[in-house]
Amino acid sequence: MKTIAAIEAFADRYDLAIVGAGPAGLAAASLAVAHGVDVVVLDENASPGGQIYRAVTSTPMTRREILGEDYWRGVELVQEFSGSASSYAPSTTVWNVARGLDGDSLGRDFEIGVSLRGKARLLRAKEVILATGAQERPFPIPGWTLPGVMTAGAAQIALKSSGLVPDGHLVLAGTGPLLYLVAAQLIEAGASIRALLDTTPRANWMSALTATPGFLASPYLAKGLALLRMVHRRLDVVGGITALRAEGQKRLNRVAFERAGRRTELDCDLLLLHQGIVPSINLSNAIGCAHDWDDVQLAFRPQVDAWFASTVQGVAIAGDSAGIAGGESAAARGRIAALGAAFRLERIGAGQRDRDAAPLRAELALLARGRRFLDVFHRPAKAFRVPSDDATLVCRCEEVSAKTIRETVMLGACGPNQMKAFTRCGMGPCQGRLCGLTVTEMITDARAVSPAEVGYYRLRPPVKPVTLAEIAALPQTADAEKAVAR
Amino acid sequence: MFRRLPEATGAPIPFTFDGREMVGRRGDTVAAALLAAGISVCRTMAVSGAPRGPYCMMGVCFDCLVTIDGAANRQGCLVLLVEGMRIKTQAGAPQAQAEEGAT
C-alpha cells in the first residue's frame, strides 16, 4: 500500500478509483490490485476500516471483549489491503465524480474532485467503485438538535477511535441491532446506562416472524439473542415506547417518553439515538445513478446489477451504499464489484470473473438468510419517521420545522426539490443527509402517494463543501481555458 | 459527558479552545478531543443562533463545525487533532475574509 499524504503525490490517472475504505472498499481494492489494476482508495477518515472497523489498527482499546470479536475481524481486511500495491489517500474528501463527455479531452474517463489538507485536485479514472457505506437514519424528535443528544453510532466511534465512554446520566433510545450492540459495548467498557428506551413497535414481532421463517436458520439469530440477553440482564430496558422528547434550554437535561399512554421523565446528560442505518447515496445521486425506494428498509438504494454496476456505465456501488446488508456482506460485494471492474478493464476474462465470483455469491446468499427478519423486526415506527409535533426540526442545518414542511406541502410543493426551493430545507451543509428521508416520507404521508413517486433531492456537486480558494487554485486544462476565452 | 478509559494512553496533544488550554490524545479528532475535555457546544447556528455540538461523529451532520487556526467551517469530527491547534467556537455564519497574502 502506498499512502498519499499530500495532494501533489496523486498520479494524474488511475484505472480504478474507490471511494471509501470500509470493508467494501478495502476488499475491492485488494482484489483489483491482485489482478493488475492500478487502484487508488480515497477515504475521508484518517485510518482504514470505515465505520464498522473504525480505527481497527490504531484504536487505543486493548481489552478485546469490549468491542467484540466481530470488530477485530476487520484487522485481516486492513492487513490484506496494507500489503497490497494499492494507493491509499486517507483524510481525503471526494466532492465530485463526473463522467467525461464524448469529444472533450477526458474521453470516457471520470473526473474526480478531491481535497486533501486544504488543497484540491482533479484526478482521472477509467472506473469508479463507490463504497460510501451507510449512515444512521434521521431520528427527528423534539429536541434532537440539543447539545447532549448524539447518535449511538457517534458514541461507538468515540469509543473505538479515542477510548471515550459516556459519563453521567446516559440514556439510549430507538431500535435496531446497532443500538443493542452499542449498549453492550458501553456496558462492557464500564459506562452506566440509566435506561434503554426501545421504540420497536410491538406489532413488528408478529410481522417479522410470519414474514421470515428463514430466520431460524440464520447466523444472526444466535448472535442477536446473546446480545439481547446480555443487555436485558445488565440494564433497564423499557419497551413499547411511543413518543420521545429531548428537553433542556441550552443543552439536554431531561428525556421524556410515553409508554402505554403514560408520560415519564428521566434526568439525562447524554441521549444516544438510533433507529437503523440507511445507504449513503449522496454521491451516487449526484452522479446520476438511478435509485429505487426499498419498502422494507424504508430508504432509497441505487439500482445495481449482478456485478454491483450502477445505471451509469463505469460506476459500481458496493457495500451498504448499495442497500443495507452488513459488514461481512460488504466485503463480498466489494470483491464482486472488483471482479466486474477488472473484467471491464480487460485484466480478466469472463470465465475467470464468473468462476471467482461463484464462492462470493454463495457467501452472500448465506449472509442474506435472516436479514429480512432484522429489516422487518427493526422497522422504525412511523411516529419516529414522520414527526407529528409541529416544532420538531426536520432540517437541522437550515432549522426548518415539521410545521413548515407540512404547510409547504399544502401550498403545492409536491416533491423534495420544490420543498428545498420554498424553504431551504436540505440546502445546508449536510445536503439533506439528515432530512432527506424525513422530507420524502412527510410529503408521501401528506399527499397519500408512494415514496417512489415523491422521490428524493436531486443532489448536485460538490457533494461535500469545498472552498472557493481550492476551486480557484485548481490547475486549468486547455479546454477549460478555451471555454471561457473571448 | 465523556471520560477516557485508562487504556487510552496516547501521547498528550495540547491545543486551545476559545483561548482555553486543553489536552487531547494522539489519534483524537478535534471533535473527540472537545468531548473528552467536557465541551458539548462548539458552534451556534446561522439561522437561530441556537447552540450545537457534535451529533454523528462521522462527517454527516456538520454540527461539529468549528474554526481551526483561522479557517472556518472545518468538520471537527474529520480533522485529526494536531499539537498547538487554535480551535474556536463557530458563531453563526462565518464572515468572508481575505486569506493571508491575498490582495
Q: What is the domain partition of chain B in residue ranges?
A: 12-91
Among residues of chain A, what percentage have pLDDT more than 90? 87
Shortest Cα–Cα distance, A117 to chain B (Å): 9
Average pLDDT estimate for A194-206: 93
Q: Report yes or no: A465 at the B interface, CB cutoff 8 Å.
A: yes
Residues counted in chain B = 103
Shortest Cα–Cα distance, A211 to chain B (Å): 33
CA nearest to B62 within chain A: A430
- Which residues in chain A touch residue B25, judged by CB atoms under 8 angstroms apart? 60, 162-163
**Do A165 and B57 make contact, defined as CB atoms within 8 angstroms?**
no
Burial environment of residue A422 by CB neighbours within 10 A (0 to 12, 13 to 18, 19 or more): middle
Say yes or no to pLDDT of B103 above 90.
no
Q: Report yes or no: A167 at the B interface, CB cutoff 8 Å.
A: yes
Burial environment of residue A157 by CB neighbours within 10 A (0 to 12, 13 to 18, 19 or more): buried
Find how far residue A4's CA is from the centre of its chain: 24
Q: Report yes or no: A368 at the B interface, CB cutoff 8 Å.
A: no
Q: Report yes or no: B70 at the A interface, CB cutoff 8 Å.
A: no
Tally the C-alpha atoms within 13 A of residue A329's C-alpha that lie toward its C-beta: 21
Q: State the pLDDT at residue A80.
A: 98
Largest CA distance in chain A: 75
Predicted ipTM? 0.95
Shortest Cα–Cα distance, A147 to chain B (Å): 5
d(CA A473, CA A45): 24
Nearest to B5 among A153, A154, A165 (CB): A165
- B18-60 pLDDT, tens digit per residue, is 999 999 999 999 999 999 999 999 999 999 999 999 999 999 9
Would you give the end-to-end CA distance of chain B in angstroms? 45
Choose the mutation target among B28, B30, B62, B69 for the interface with A, i.e. most A CBs under 10 Å.
B62
Number of A–B residue contacts, CB under 8 Å: 137
d(CA A461, CA A3): 26
Query: In the 8-state DSSP scheme, what is residue A309?
Result: B
Query: Residue B11: what residue type?
Result: A
Nearest to B3 among A161, A165, A250 (CB): A165
DSSP-derived 3-state class of residue A165: strand
Which of A45-49, A244-248, A372-376 shows the lowest per-residue confidence on average (mean pLDDT)?
Answer: A372-376
Beta-strand relationship, A110-116 and A92-99? antiparallel
Torsion over CA of A396, A408, A412 and A448, rounded to 10 degrees? Answer: 70
3-state helix, strand, coil in chain A (%, to 5): 40, 25, 40
Q: Is A134:A301 a contact under the CB 8 Å cutoff?
A: no
Sign of the CA dihedral running A373, A378, A381, A382: negative
What pLDDT band is residue A138 in, cutting at 50, 70 and 90? very high
What pLDDT band is residue A178 in, cutting at 50, 70 and 90? very high
Which residues touch A475 (CB under 8 Å, ≥6 apart)?
A121, A122
Q: State the pLDDT at residue B92.
A: 87
- A223-239 pLDDT, tens digit per residue, is 888 888 899 999 999 99
d(CA A407, CA A390): 10
Q: Which domains does chain A have, with CATH numbers?
A: 2-135+278-348 (3.50.50.60), 138-275 (3.50.50.60), 386-454 (1.10.10.1100)
Q: Which residues 394-423 on chain A approach chain B with CB closer than 8 angstroms? A: 396-399
Q: Report yes or no: A453 at the B interface, CB cutoff 8 Å.
A: no
Q: Which CATH class is domain B12-91?
A: alpha beta
Q: Is A280:A318 a contact under the CB 8 Å cutoff?
A: no
- A11-25 pLDDT, tens digit per residue, is 999 999 999 999 999
Backbone angles phi, psi at A309, to 5 degrees: -80, 135
Q: State the pLDDT at residue B42.
A: 97
Q: Report yes or no: A214 at the B interface, CB cutoff 8 Å.
A: no
d(CA A401, CA A416): 14
The angle formed by the CA atoms of residues A471, A474 and A479, to the nearest 5 degrees, is 110
Q: Is A378:A175 a contact under the CB 8 Å cutoff?
A: yes
Q: State the pLDDT at residue A102.
A: 59
